[in-house]
């Protein structure tokens, strides 16, 4: 019975994916993509990976969907490249089919028993004082990846802000982003906000509940925090931020730099880089984690908002470089 | 057949669909969508590996789970950058269409 | 099933330096948010100079101790933790990157008459983020950490392409990003398959497992194929070169120099590591000719395209797409053969000399553009008299691309040819010769008219002498590599697998 359910989910994901790839209308495609993310979320739950499911629904489906909605309006007006001909499509289908068959063969031929690091994590997790194994991997065992992941977010923000139209002033990227509902029919976005707001609330409640039961399991909360902020902006319950505010910069930088500082401090108070001091690992980790949650949340929100738009103070054509 | 291989096969199919979309995509948005479809499928394949490797009292190998979480965030960042470029390109083209003045020719 | 843990390396200063060269550049983000462009620039140059000192110290330690330097992040050994490790090859890459980036920084430095990138406060954090990503790509032992490094590199490089803010640049940046995303997706898919097979992401551990397997599983072959295609897309190797010319040619000169010189070298370096360090020898033997065929395609076709360009910067960009092909020729020659050291040394020298000469050429082209107000190939007559230093730097860089002695390009080609003749790979010999002729064609197409008298007096905007000197210094660096001995380098053998390296140690 449960296998039947899994098969139905997978089938649904495939149908929706095909719809996204073959559809003709940008807005419909993006909404189908959001549905794809929600189906994947359910599959992750079926794989007993609740942490991943949360990230998928908040970031993979929610935040990504919101960003893509911003592009859907522009895509409708952008010039289209020539649609690919039959030969291209046929070749692409052939390549994809071959890749599928090879991957399927690889999936079915995986070794038994599956090599896994689960036992190694279980063995060393108590030494970290953490209860959630995924947090342990993210913040302790593979902390370098996570530190650099926060830098990736920061870098994406720098890259996006650099796309702001030129204007004379102290900071090239100063000003507020264009309103979220400026580009696409606001009806769809309002509907989405109404649909996602309860989901987001539910997820946040779960985070708190999980935080109580599984120590320091709220790492994925940053994504939900960001999504909630964007929802508030969508519903026009919060004002658009001015990007040059120093306070905003502090929020954005707090996570990566608290993490980096802790890492460097490891040479002083422990055995080396990203090594946590013995005995007080857990409080240190919780402080770092809290900073990361805030920074990831704010950065995700800012990435959705995009670069500063044309400002009311600017005259059109005033972009002298 | 248990759930893991089934979901692994599903992930493989989604990868193939995404790859097809990337190759035939006729505009930037379509390709970005296809990239995300591909990514989702690939993460599912990883999830199937994690499920098969469940041990030590965990429902799955936590290492792939952590890597997938990182991967989802990285994919989102890439999508946000691509969308910002798409929007900027559309705005720049629109401006150019309005006033086709001779922009100082760059080295391209 | 648990894997043997690797013993932790002793805590050394060089090990700590490995971490510092990766993370210290991140401090460059602080001025972006809080301080002015001038401070951002000074801090960036200081960090780049520190990076060079760190890289040289690591190379000195590797050379002095005769062993690779390693560091386990947080004290956690692979497979659970992540290791950084620098063998001779990695140490060379670190030093080359640091030198090229510092030169780029000096070239881009705001000075009187310097054409600044449009947004200096954006430029500097991006350069530093690229330094972080490159140093990580050259030292990480973990396949997923390498994925993060490649993503960081993409996110640093794409905004550099569109710093000037022209629509054509946005288009080039978008295309670059889409190719890069395609590449990273395929790379990561391969990583997933490898984890499924071996339950670890550490290259050394995987190599140890792979080497003792009687038959390589098909999933490993698929993984290697996917990762190779992904890395090729990121490096703009033929047939994925389409994104490179508009992206590299459209960027501001300092950014072009950096993108062509070092940024695309990271995926190429990883392609070499994949086949020389991770793949079983039998597979590397089988796949080597395929990869070399792509390299041959790059050298011949992109060389021809370069010959046909009407803009100087586009010509140099196509030349980059052609020159990286030589590194693919290294794969079959270096994979496991007794004289593999010769081919690997040739590849390493080519990597470094191409970095220096190509950065010099892009800088010179940028200065010529600035002086003339254009870079049309048919308007270059007389540039030699107007900008002798820039043209000299361009010519020296070009001589290395052609393979004229003394230059790193010459040394690399002689060793590559010796290795190819030794293994009777005659078609590789033919490709190397043809590639040299094509390079001569497109370089001379610039230099010959530039040395002639102009039809009418050129209107020249004066350019900064200091920036000309940076280009010249880089070109002289490429020339200096021509004085290296024509034999496998013992330094490159340090800490590396393979019969040749073990014999040297």
User: What pLDDT shows up at residue A315?
Assistant: 41
Q: How confident is the model at residue A219 (pLDDT cuts 50, 70, 90)?
A: low
Report yes or no: A147 at the C interface, CB cutoff 8 Å. yes
Where in C44-179 does DSSP place strands (E)?
Answer: 69-72, 83-86
Nearest CB to A67 within list B13, B15, B83: B83
Where in chain A does DSSP place strands (E)?
Answer: none
- Nearest C-alpha neighbor of C341 from the set C505, C503, C500: C500
User: What pLDDT shows up at residue C174?
Assistant: 93
Report yes or no: C165 at the A interface, CB cutoff 8 Å. yes
Q: How confident is the model at residue B104 (pLDDT cuts 50, 70, 90)?
A: very low
DSSP state of A307: S
Residues 260-319 of A with CB under 8 A from C: 260, 263-264, 266-267, 271-276
Which residues of C fall within a CB distance of 8 Å from B22? Answer: 178, 182
Length of chain A counted residue by residue: 321
The HSE-up count of residue A191 (CA atoms within 13 Å, CB side) is: 7
Alpha helices in A78-183 (DSSP H): 86-108, 118-124, 133-135, 143-161
Residues 241-300 of C with CB under 8 A from B: 246, 249-250
Percent of chain A with pLDDT over 90: 27
Q: Which residue has the higher pLDDT, C20 or A111?
A: C20
pLDDT at B102 over 50: no
Contact C313 B88 (CB under 8 A): no
- Nearest C-alpha neighbor of A53 from the set A62, A61, A44: A44
User: What pLDDT shows up at residue A257?
Assistant: 93
User: What pLDDT shows up at residue A320?
Assistant: 37
Between chain B and chain C, the number of residue pairs with CB atoms below 8 A apart is: 100
A16-45 pLDDT, tens per residue?
Answer: 999 999 988 888 899 999 999 999 999 999
Q: B33 phi and psi, to 5 degrees?
A: -60, -45
Which residues of C fall within a CB distance of 8 Å from B32? Answer: 178, 181
What is the C-alpha separation between C405 and C353, in angstroms, rounded? 13
User: What pLDDT shows up at residue A288?
Assistant: 87
Q: What is the mean pLDDT of residues B11-32?
A: 92
Specify which of A234-243, B67-76, B98-107 reaches the highest per-range mean pLDDT. B67-76
User: What pLDDT shows up at residue C22?
Assistant: 95
Report yes or no: C98 at the B interface, CB cutoff 8 Å. no
Nearest CB to B61 within list A56, A74, A118: A118
User: What pLDDT shows up at residue A316?
Assistant: 44
- For testing contact with chain B, the best of C157, C167, C226 (most B CBs within 10 A): C167
Q: How many CB atoms lie within 10 A of CB C77?
A: 18
Contact B108 C192 (CB under 8 A): no
pLDDT at A65 over 70: yes
Spatial CB neighbours of C501, under 8 Å, sequence gap ≥ 6 = C341, C493, C494, C495
Q: Are B73 and C155 in contact (CB under 8 A)?
A: no
Q: Are C222 and C186 in contact (CB under 8 A)?
A: no
> Average pLDDT of chain A?
80
Report yes or no: C222 at the B interface, CB cutoff 8 Å. no
pLDDT at B100 over 60: no
Which residues of A fall within a CB distance of 8 Å from C127? Answer: none
Distance from the B95 Cα atom to the nearest Cα atom in chain C, whole angstroms: 10
Contact C162 B32 (CB under 8 A): no
Q: Which residue has the higher pLDDT, A15 or A181?
A: A15
User: What pLDDT shows up at residue A86?
Assistant: 85
A263-303 pLDDT, tens per residue?
Answer: 999 988 888 899 888 888 888 888 888 888 888 888 988 99
Contact C189 B45 (CB under 8 A): yes
User: What pLDDT shows up at residue B106?
Assistant: 37
Token pair for residue A40? 């994947």
Task: Give the Cα-Cα-Cα angle A46, A49, A51 (nearest 5 degrees).
Answer: 135
pLDDT at A211 over 70: no
Q: Which residue has the higher pLDDT, A15 or C167?
A: A15
User: What pLDDT shows up at residue C316?
Assistant: 95
Nearest CB to C198 within list A113, A115, A151: A115
Contact A110 B52 (CB under 8 A): yes
What is the C-alpha separation between A140 and A37, in angstroms, rounded? 29
What is the C-alpha separation between C384 and C143, in angstroms, rounded? 48
Residues 7-66 of B with CB under 8 A from C: 15, 18, 22, 28, 31-32, 35, 38-39, 42, 45-46, 49, 53, 63-64
* Full pLDDT tens readout for chain C, 505 residues: 344 455 566 667 888 999 999 999 999 887 777 777 778 888 899 999 999 999 999 999 999 998 899 999 998 999 999 999 999 999 999 999 999 999 999 998 754 334 444 566 788 889 999 999 999 999 999 999 999 999 999 999 999 998 877 888 899 999 999 999 999 999 999 999 999 999 999 999 999 999 888 888 999 999 999 999 999 999 999 899 989 999 988 888 889 999 999 999 999 999 999 999 999 888 888 899 999 999 999 999 999 999 999 999 999 999 999 999 999 999 998 886 666 888 999 999 999 999 999 999 999 999 999 888 888 988 888 888 889 999 999 999 999 999 998 999 999 999 999 999 988 889 999 999 999 999 999 999 999 999 988 877 788 888 888 889 999 999 999 999 999 988 888 898 888 876 566 665 5
Q: Which residues pair with C311 in a beta bridge?
A: C376
Q: How confident is the model at residue A212 (pLDDT cuts 50, 70, 90)?
A: very low
Q: Are C366 and C474 in contact (CB under 8 A)?
A: no
């Amino acid at each position: 019975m449960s296998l039947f359910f899994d098969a139905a989910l997978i089938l649904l994901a495939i149908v929706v994916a095909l719809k996204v790839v073959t559809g003709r209308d940008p807005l419909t495609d993006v909404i189908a993509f959001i549905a794809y993310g929600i189906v994947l979320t359910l599959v992750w739950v079926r794989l007993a990976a609740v942490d991943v499911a949360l990230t998928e629904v908040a970031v993979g489906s929610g935040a990504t969907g919101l960003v893509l909605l911003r592009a859907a309006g522009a895509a409708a007006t952008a010039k289209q490249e020539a649609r690919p001909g039959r030969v291209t499509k046929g070749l692409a289908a052939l390549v994809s089919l071959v890749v599928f068959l090879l991957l399927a063969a690889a999936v079915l031929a995986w070794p038994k028993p599956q090599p896994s690091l689960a036992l190694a994590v279980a063995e060393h997790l108590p030494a970290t004082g953490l209860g959630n194994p995924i947090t342990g991997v993210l913040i302790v065992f593979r902390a370098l990846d996570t530190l650099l992941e926060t830098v990736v977010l920061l870098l994406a923000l720098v890259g996006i802000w650099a796309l702001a139209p030129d204007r004379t002033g102290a900071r090239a990227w100063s000003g507020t982003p264009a309103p979220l509902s400026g580009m696409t029919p606001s009806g769809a976005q309002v509907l989405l906000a109404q649909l996602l707001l309860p989901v987001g609330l539910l997820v946040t409640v779960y985070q708190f509940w999980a935080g109580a039961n599984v120590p320091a399991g709220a790492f994925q909360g940053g994504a939900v925090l960001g999504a909630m902020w964007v929802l508030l902006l969508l519903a026009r319950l919060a004002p658009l931020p001015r990007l040059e505010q120093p306070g905003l910069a502090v929020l954005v930088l707090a996570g990566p730099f608290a993490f980096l500082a802790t890492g460097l401090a490891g040479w002083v108070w422990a055995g080396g880089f990203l090594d946590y001091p013995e005995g007080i690992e857990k409080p240190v980790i919780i402080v770092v984690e809290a900073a990361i949650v805030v920074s990831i949340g704010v950065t995700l929100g800012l990435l959705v908002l995009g670069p500063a738009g044309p400002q009311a103070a600017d005259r059109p054509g005033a972009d002298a470089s | 057949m248990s759930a893991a291989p089934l979901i692994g096969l599903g992930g493989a199919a989604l990868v193939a669909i995404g790859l097809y979309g990337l190759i035939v995509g006729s505009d930037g948005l379509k390709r970005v969508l296809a990239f995300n479809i591909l990514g989702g499928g690939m993460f599912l394949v990883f999830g199937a590996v994690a499920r098969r490797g469940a041990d030590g009292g965990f429902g799955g190998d936590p290492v792939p789970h952590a890597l997938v979480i990182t991967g989802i965030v990285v994919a989102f960042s890439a999508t946000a950058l691509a969308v910002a470029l798409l929007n900027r390109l559309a705005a720049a083209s629109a401006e150019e269409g309005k006033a086709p003045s001779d922009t100082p020719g760059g080295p391209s | 099933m648990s894997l043997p843990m690797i013993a932790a390396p002793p805590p050394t200063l060089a090990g700590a330096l490995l971490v510092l060269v990766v993370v210290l550049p991140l401090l460059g983000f602080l001025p972006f948010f809080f301080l002015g462009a001038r401070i951002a620039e000074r801090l960036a140059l200081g960090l780049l100079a520190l990076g060079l000192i760190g890289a040289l110290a690591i190379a000195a330690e590797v050379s002095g101790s005769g062993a690779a330097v390693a560091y386990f992040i947080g004290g956690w050994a692979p497979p659970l933790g992540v290791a950084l490790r620098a063998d001779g090859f990695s140490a060379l890459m670190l030093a080359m990157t640091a030198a090229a980036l510092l030169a780029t920084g000096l070239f881009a430095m705001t000075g009187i008459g310097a054409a600044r990138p449009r947004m200096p406060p954006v430029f500097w954090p991006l350069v530093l983020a690229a330094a972080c990503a490159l140093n990580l790509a050259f030292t990480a032992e973990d396949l997923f950490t390498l994925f993060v490094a490649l993503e960081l590199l993409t996110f640093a490089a794409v905004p550099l392409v569109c710093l000037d803010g022209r629509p054509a640049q946005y288009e080039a940046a978008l295309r670059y990003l889409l190719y890069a995303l395609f590449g990273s997706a395929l790379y990561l898919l391969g990583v997933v398959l490898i984890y499924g097979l071996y339950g670890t992401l550490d290259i050394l551990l995987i190599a140890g497992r792979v080497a003792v397997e009687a038959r390589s599983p098909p999933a490993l072959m698929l993984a290697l194929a996917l990762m190779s295609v992904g890395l090729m897309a990121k490096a703009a190797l033929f047939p994925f070169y389409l994104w490179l010319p508009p992206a590299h040619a459209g960027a501001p000169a300092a950014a072009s120099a950096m993108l062509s010189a070092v940024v695309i070298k990271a995926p190429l370096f990883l392609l070499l590591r994949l086949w020389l360090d991770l793949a079983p020898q039998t597979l590397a033997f089988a796949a080597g000719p395929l990869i070399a065929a792509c390299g041959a395609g790059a050298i011949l076709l992109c060389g021809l395209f370069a010959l046909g360009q009407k803009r100087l910067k586009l010509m140099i960009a196509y030349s980059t797409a052609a020159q990286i092909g030589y590194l693919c020729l290294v794969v079959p020659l270096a994979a496991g053969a007794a004289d593999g050291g010769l081919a690997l040394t040739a590849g390493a020298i080519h990597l470094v000399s191409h970095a220096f000469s190509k950065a010099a050429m892009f800088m010179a082209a940028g200065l010529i553009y600035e002086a003339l107000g254009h870079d049309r190939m048919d308007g270059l007559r007389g540039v030699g008299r107007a900008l002798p230093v820039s043209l000299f730097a361009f010519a020296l860089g070009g001589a290395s691309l052609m393979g004229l002695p003394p230059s790193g390009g010459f040394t690399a080609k002689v060793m590559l040819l010796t290795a190819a003749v030794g293994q009777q790979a005659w078609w590789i010999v033919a490709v190397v010769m043809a590639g040299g002729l094509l390079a001569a064609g497109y370089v001379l197409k610039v230099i010959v008219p530039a040395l002639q008298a102009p039809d009418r007096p050129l209107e020249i905007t004066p350019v900064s002498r200091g920036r000309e000197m940076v280009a010249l210094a880089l070109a002289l660096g490429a020339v200096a590599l021509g004085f290296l001995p024509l034999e496998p380098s013992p330094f490159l053998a340090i800490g590396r697998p393979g019969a040749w390296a073990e014999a040297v140690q």
